C-alpha cells in the first residue's frame, strides 16, 4: 500500500474511533498517522450574557434572550518536529499544520441547556442548538429559552445554570506524497484532526421584583337565583410593597350582573386586608352551583405610577332558591283559616 493509502486508512480509523472515546480522553498512541509539527495550548472559552432586563413579576412567562461570545485564545505552542532545511515537503506541511492549529479556539456545534434548581422558576424550553463560534465572535442571533415564574414566588434573585457543550479541535497532523515544484504544493495532501468534547457552565440570574400582590382570603354572602344578594370579598396584600388608593373592579359574567362593579379598598400595606362589597344580581334561571368571578385591583405604586394587578379569582356559589308554597296551596290555607274562624265564632254564639 502506498503512502497515500496508508494515511487515508489511518484517518478513517481515527474518525471512527472518535465517537467511542470519552470526552477529554488522552490522544491515542495510534494518532501518529503522519507528521505532527506542533502542539498548541488553549481552546474556546464561551461567555454568555442575558440581554435586556432580567427583572420580572411573579406569575410571568417570559422568553430569555442569551448572547454568547467566544473569548478563547491560544496561550502557547510547542514545536514537536522541525522541518529540515531544503526539505520543501516538510516546510509546506509545517506551514499547513500551523494554519489548521489556529482553529483550535473554535467552538463547534454548541448545544445550550438551561436549568433551574428552584421550583419557583421552571424552564419550559429544551436544549437549543447555538451553532459554531469562532474566536472573538459573538453569536449571530440570541439563543432563546422560555421560563415560567411561580405566582407565589418570593421577591429576590434566582440563579439559572447554563450548560454549553461543544467540540473543539485538540490536535492536527498532516501528510502528503511529495513536493510539486511547479505548484509549490504537496501532492495528495491529507489532514488528520482530533476533536474533543467540552462542557462549560455559567450562572445567569433572574430577579422577581418587589411589588404588591393580592389574594382573596374570604368570601361571604348568599346569592340566590333572581334575588341576587350582597357579596363581601376580603382582599389581602401578600406582596412586599404597599398599594396606594387601591380600587377593585369585578367582571360579572353569566349568570351574574351588577351596576356596582367597583369598590374602594384604600391603601394596603404589605400584610394588610380590606373588604370590598358588591351588590350582585343573579339570573332567575341560574343553576345552583359554585362559580368564579374575575377581579383586578387598580392602584398606585411607590413610584407614583398607576398599575393594574393580575386577575384575582373570587370563588362564590349560587344557592338553591328558598322554597315557597304554590298558589293553590296558599288559597287552600286561607280558606281553611276562614272556616276555622267561622267555626270558633259559631261556638261562641251557641254558648251565649
Write out pLDDT tens, residues 236-257: 999 999 999 999 999 988 999 9
Of the candidates 148, 151, 149, the residue with the CA atom closest to the CA atom of residue 311: 151
Superfamily (CATH) of domain 214-317: Immunoglobulins (2.60.40.10)
pLDDT of 19 over the 60 cut:
no
% of residues, the chain, pLDDT over 90: 58
Four-point Cα dihedral 145, 146, 147, 151, nearest 10: 160
Residue whose C-alpha cell reads 351588577 in the numeric block? 258
| Percent residues over pLDDT 70 in the chain | 68
CA distance linking residue 196 with residue 17, whole number of Å: 12
- C-alpha to C-alpha distances, 21 to 24, 27, 107, 111, 196, nearest whole angstrom: 9, 10, 19, 19, 9
Q: Which of 43, 110, 45, 50 has the alpha carbon at shortest distance from 76?
A: 43
Q: Provide the pLDDT for residue 325.
A: 40
Query: Does the pLDDT at position 128 exceed 50?
Result: yes
- With 0-12 / 13-18 / 19 or more C-beta atoms within 10 angstroms meaning exposed / middle / buried, residue 351 is exposed
**Residues 298, 304, 305, 309, CA torsion sign:** negative
3-208 and 214-317 have identical folds:
yes
Q: Are 223 and 317 in contact (CB under 8 A)?
A: yes
Q: Which three cell numbers stand for residue 294?
A: 374575575
Q: Is the pLDDT confidence value at 182 over 60?
A: yes
Element (H or E) spanning 83, and its range?
A: none
Phi, psi dihedral angles at 209 (to 5 degrees): -75, 155
> What are the helix (H) ranges across the chain?
3-18, 88-101, 327-351
Lowest mean pLDDT among 166-175, 186-195, 300-309: 186-195
119 close to 150: Cβ distance less than 8 angstroms = yes
CA 135 to chain centre: 30
Please return the burial class of 218, using the count of CB atoms within 10 Å of its CB with bins 0-12, 13-18 and 19+: exposed
What is the per-residue pLDDT for 272? 97
Quote the pTM value. 0.68
What ranges do the domains of the chain cover? 3-208, 214-317
Predicted local distance difference test score (pLDDT) of residue 223: 94
Query: What is the C-alpha separation between 50 and 73, in angstroms, rounded?
Result: 23
Using one digit for the tens of pLDDT, what is the confidence trace for 77-113?
665 566 555 555 556 665 666 666 777 889 999 999 9
CA angle 267-271-276, nearest 5°?
Answer: 50
Per-residue confidence band for 20, with pLDDT thresholds at 50, 70 and 90: very low
What's the fold here for domain 3-208?
A: Immunoglobulin-like (2.60.40)
> Looking at residue 103, what is its pLDDT?
77
Amino acid at each position: 500500500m502506498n503512502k497515500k493509502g496508508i494515511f487515508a486508512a489511518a484517518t478513517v480509523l481515527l474518525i471512527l474511533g472518535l465517537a467511542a472515546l470519552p470526552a477529554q480522553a488522552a490522544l491515542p498512541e495510534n494518532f501518529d498517522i503522519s507528521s505532527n509539527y506542533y502542539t498548541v495550548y488553549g481552546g474556546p472559552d464561551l461567555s454568555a450574557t442575558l440581554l435586556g432586563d432580567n427583572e420580572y413579576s411573579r406569575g410571568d412567562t417570559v422568553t430569555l434572550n442569551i448572547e454568547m461570545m467566544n473569548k478563547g485564545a491560544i496561550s502557547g505552542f510547542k514545536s514537536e518536529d522541525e522541518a529540515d532545511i531544503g526539505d520543501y515537503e516538510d516546510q509546506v506541511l509545517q506551514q499547513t499544520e500551523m494554519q489548521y492549529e489556529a482553529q483550535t479556539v473554535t467552538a463547534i456545534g454548541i448545544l445550550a441547556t438551561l436549568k433551574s434548581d428552584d421550583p419557583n422558576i421552571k424552564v419550559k424550553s429544551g436544549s437549543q442548538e447555538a451553532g459554531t463560534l469562532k474566536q472573538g465572535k459573538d453569536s449571530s442571533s440570541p439563543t432563546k429559552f422560555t421560563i415560567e415564574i411561580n405566582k407565589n414566588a418570593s421577591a429576590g434573585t434566582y440563579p439559572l445554570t447554563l450548560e454549553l457543550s461543544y467540540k473543539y479541535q485538540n490536535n492536527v497532523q498532516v501528510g502528503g506524497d511529495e513536493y510539486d515544484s511547479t505548484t509549490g504544493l504537496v501532492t495528495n495532501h491529507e489532514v488528520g484532526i482530533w476533536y474533543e468534547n467540552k462542557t462549560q457552565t455559567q450562572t445567569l440570574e433572574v430577579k422577581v421584583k418587589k411589588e404588591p400582590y393580592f389574594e382573596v382570603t374570604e368570601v361571604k354572602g348568599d346569592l340566590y337565583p333572581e334575588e341576587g344578594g350582597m357579596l363581601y370579598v376580603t382582599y389581602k396584600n401578600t406582596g412586599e410593597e404597599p398599594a396606594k388608593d387601591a380600587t377593585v373592579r369585578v367582571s360579572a359574567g353569566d349568570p351574574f350582573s351588577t351596576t356596582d362593579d367597583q369598590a374602594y379598598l384604600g391603601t394596603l400595606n404589605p400584610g394588610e386586608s380590606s373588604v370590598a362589597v358588591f351588590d350582585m344580581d343573579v339570573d332567575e334561571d341560574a343553576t345552583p352551583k359554585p362559580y368564579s368571578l374575575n377581579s383586578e385591583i387598580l392602584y398606585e405604586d411607590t413610584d407614583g405610577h398607576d398599575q393594574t394587578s393580575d386577575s384575582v379569582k373570587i370563588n362564590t356559589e349560587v344557592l338553591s332558591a328558598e322554597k315557597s308554597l304554590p298558589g293553590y296551596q296558599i288559597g287552600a290555607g286561607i280558606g281553611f283559616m276562614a272556616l276555622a274562624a267561622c267555626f270558633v265564632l259559631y261556638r261562641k254564639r251557641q254558648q251565649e
